[in-house]
Amino acid sequence: MKAAKHVPAWPAYNLKDRPTMRIAEKCDVIDNRFSGEIACGFR
């Protein structure tokens, strides 16, 4: 399925990159967006 116009491709979620789509005026994909929070919770 194609993304909407001006929206980047959003790869399937995986535990290595953890791609997350930020939906705002300008959408973008952020890898490991919550890596700091995840690291704190599993120490």
Q: Exposure string (b/e) for 8-36, b if CB count within 10 Å is 16 or more?
A: eeeeeeeeeeebebeeeeeeeeeeeeeee
- Please determine, for residue 2, whether its predicted confidence score (pLDDT) is greater than 80: no
Note whether 11 and 29 are within 8 A (CB). Answer: yes
Q: Which two tokens stand for residue 28?
A: 């973008």
- 20 forms beta bridges with 30
- Please determine, for residue 3, whether its predicted confidence score (pLDDT) is greater than 90: no
User: pLDDT class for 21, splitting at 50, 70, 90?
Assistant: very high
For the question of whether the overall pTM of this predicted structure is more than 0.85, the answer is no
Q: What is the mean pLDDT of residues 3-31?
A: 90
